[in-house]
Amino acid sequence: MEGNCDSVVAHARQASDAGAHLVVFPEMVVTGYSVEDLALRDGFVSASTKATHHLAGRLAAEGLAHLPVVVGFLGRRKGPGPRFGQPSGAPQNSLAVLHEGRIRLVSAKHHLPNYGVFDEFRYFVPGDTLPLLRLHGADIAFAICEDLWQDGGPVAAAADAGAGMLITLNGSPYERHKDDVRLDLCRRRARELGAAIGYVNMTGGQDDLVFEGDSLIVDADGELVARAAQFDEELLVTDVELPRAEDTSWRADEAGGFRVVRYTVSDRAPAPYEARPPSLTPRRDPLNDLGEVYSALVAGVRDHVRKNGFTSVLVGVSGGADSALTATIAADAVGADAVHALVMPGRGSDPEALDDAEDLIKRQGLTRRLYPVDRLLDALESTITVAGAGGGEDLLEQARGVLLKALSREEGHLVLATGDKSELAMGLCAHHGDGAGAYAPLRDCWKTLVRELARWRNSQSPTTDGAPPMPERALVRESARGWDAVDSAPERPGYEVLDGLLDAYIGTDHGASDLTAAGFAPDLVRHVVRLVDRAEHQRRQYPPGPKITKRTLGRDRRLPITNRWLL
Q: Are 270 and 138 in contact (CB under 8 A)?
A: no
Active site residue 27: yes
Question: What kind and span of H or E run contains 506?
Answer: helix 495-508
Identify each DSSP E strand in 202-257 by its residue range. 203-206, 209-212, 216-218, 224-227, 254-255
Active site residue 358: no
Q: Which has the closest alpha carbon to 125: 149, 107, 109, 145?
A: 109
Q: How far apart are CA 532 and CA 513, in angstroms?
A: 16
What angle is formed at CA 499 by the lines to CA 495 and CA 500, rounded to 5 degrees? 115
Q: How far apart are CA 10 and CA 8, in angstroms?
A: 6
Count of residues in the chain: 567
Question: What kind and span of H or E run contains 357?
Answer: helix 351-364
> Per-residue DSSP letters for 404-466?
HHHHHHHH-PEEBP---HHHHHHT-SPTTTTT-SSB-TTTT--HHHHHHHHHHHHHSS--TTS
| Cβ neighbours of 542 (radius 10 Å) | 20
* Per annotation, catalytic residue among 5, 120, 145, 423: 145
Beta bridge partners of 224: 218
Q: Which has the closest alpha carbon to 75: 107, 112, 99, 101?
A: 107
Q: Which has the closest alpha carbon to 530: 481, 489, 497?
A: 489
* Per annotation, catalytic residue among 109, 421, 447, 547: 109
Q: Rg of the chain's alpha carbons, rounded to an integer?
A: 26
| Max CA distance (Å), the chain | 86
For 243, the 3-state DSSP assignment is coil
Q: How far apart are CA 90 and CA 112, in angstroms?
A: 14
* Per annotation, catalytic residue among 27, 175, 212, 397: 27
Q: Which has the closest alpha carbon to 420: 343, 499, 510, 312?
A: 499
DSSP state of 274: P
**Alpha helix (H) residue ranges in 102-244:** 120-123, 146-149, 153-160, 178-193
Q: How far apart are CA 292 and CA 177, in angstroms?
A: 9
Active site residue 362: no
> Catalytic residue numbers?
27, 109, 145
